[in-house]
């Protein structure tokens, strides 16, 4: 191909990509019809049909058998290529990652409940029987936490760019390439999950290992869990397992065992990452009754309208 021919080809490509020429551009078969003055904007993007819906999948985390080993945290970082920060000790816990963040898409919470004063200088047990007979002081609770993949997710509703979508497996997925880092999803989430990555300016969180799911694999954290505390599969199957497990615990001396997010809350949808807890949700740092932020919007709009009317009346009264 000669220089002039390549030049002509380049000019044609530039003309095709010019927004002002898109009005007359033929849309591919099956694309949405032109919508008047917005057609040039829509024409800038390739538009595809959504992927066929698959079986709704869910995480079930049984905190009664979680040992706090943090294998799931390591697996999450390794698969998603998330850098590991230098561990920091809070002084209040043995937990060195402390919270969900842009560097911790999964976090194992340590709930350490011990008395402020412990007995010291008591004789050491002489054999295993004496050791087992010793009075147990305090207890540890562990919980492998992550994005809850809410079935009706407020972060999805709040996103102004469409960067947040629900994938075909029912998970909430963030498309970081079109996220503008406004932080609306952070304000909307009642669980404090998403966070802005300061290196990229995008909001990030657990992606449910979407790339692995598409290839028929289970999430990395599930495969790494040493005790089977994290399970993943069709939601109906996970719900059945969760109900059977909590029934077993009730029958074997643990009436405090309860399910969190398996069913709808009073003002919030059920979750696609639900938990079996061994105490009240607030002990694990979870809201007892999460609320969808949009429920407050009608009253917010009403107060705003009333404030506008009041201010207008004051201005008019001042000028008269």
What is the per-residue pLDDT for 3?
60
For residue 179, say whether it is annotated as part of any ligand binding site: yes
What is the per-residue pLDDT for 23?
47
Closest CA relative to residue 176, chosen from 147, 146, 197: 197
What are 48's two structure tokens? 């595809």
This prediction's pTM: 0.76
For residue 206, say whether it is annotated as part of any ligand binding site: yes
- Each residue's pLDDT expressed in tens, for the chain with a length of 320 residues: 566 676 677 666 655 555 455 445 555 555 555 555 555 555 555 566 778 888 999 999 999 999 999 999 999 999 999 988 887 787 778 888 888 999 999 999 998 887 777 666 677 788 888 888 877 777 889 999 999 999 999 998 889 888 999 999 999 999 988 899 999 999 999 999 999 999 999 999 999 999 999 999 999 999 999 999 999 999 999 999 999 999 999 999 999 999 999 999 998 999 999 999 999 999 999 999 998 887 776 777 778 788 888 888 888 888 87
Q: Measured between alpha carbons, how far is 148 from 319 in angstroms, rounded to an integer? A: 54
For residue 76, say whether it is annotated as part of any ligand binding site: yes
For residue 155, say whether it is annotated as part of any ligand binding site: yes
For residue 185, say whether it is annotated as part of any ligand binding site: yes
Residue 207 burial by Cβ neighbours in a 10 Å radius (0-12, 13-18, 19+): buried
Q: Give buried/exposed letters for 152-189 (b at 16+ CB in 10 A, else e).
A: ebbbbebbeeebbebbbbbbbbbeeeebebeebbbebb
Q: Half-sphere exposure of residue 153, counting CA atoms within 13 Å on the CB side?
A: 27
For residue 221, say whether it is annotated as part of any ligand binding site: yes
Closest CA relative to residue 278, chosen from 142, 112, 144: 142
For residue 262, say whether it is annotated as part of any ligand binding site: no
What are 259's two structure tokens? 């399910």
């Amino acid at each position: 191909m000669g220089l002039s021919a390549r030049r002509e080809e380049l000019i044609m490509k530039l003309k095709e990509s010019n927004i002002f020429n898109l009005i007359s551009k033929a849309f591919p078969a099956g694309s949405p019809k032109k919508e008047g003055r917005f057609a040039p904007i829509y024409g800038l993007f390739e538009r595809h049909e959504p992927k066929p819906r698959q079986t709704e999948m869910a995480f079930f985390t049984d905190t009664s058998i979680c040992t706090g080993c943090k294998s799931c945290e390591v697996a999450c970082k390794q698969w998603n290529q998330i850098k590991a920060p230098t561990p920091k000790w809070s002084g209040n816990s043995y937990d060195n990652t402390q919270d969900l963040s842009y560097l911790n898409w999964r976090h194992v919470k340590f709930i350490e409940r011990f008395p402020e004063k412990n007995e010291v200088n008591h004789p050491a047990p002489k054999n295993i029987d004496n050791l087992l007979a010793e009075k147990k002081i305090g207890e540890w609770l562990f919980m492998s936490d992550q994005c809850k993949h809410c079935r009706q997710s407020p972060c999805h509703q709040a996103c102004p760019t469409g960067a947040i979508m629900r994938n075909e497996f029912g998970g909430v997925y963030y498309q970081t390439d079109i996220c503008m880092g406004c932080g609306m999803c952070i304000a909307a989430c009642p669980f404090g999950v998403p966070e802005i990555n300061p290196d990229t300016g995008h909001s990030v969180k657990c992606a449910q290992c979407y790339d692995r799911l598409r290839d028929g694999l289970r999430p990395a954290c599930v495969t790494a869990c040493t005790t089977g505390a994290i399970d993943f599969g069709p939601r109906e199957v996970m719900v059945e397992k969760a109900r059977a497990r909590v029934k077993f615990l009730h029958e074997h001396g643990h009436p405090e065992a309860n399910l969190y997010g398996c069913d709808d809350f009073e003002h919030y949808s059920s979750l696609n990452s639900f938990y079996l807890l061994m105490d009240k949700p607030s002990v694990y740092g979870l809201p007892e009754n999460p609320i969808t932020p949009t429920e407050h919007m009608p009253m917010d709009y009403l107060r705003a309208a009333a404030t506008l009317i009041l201010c207008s009346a004051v201005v008019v009264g001042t000028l008269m």
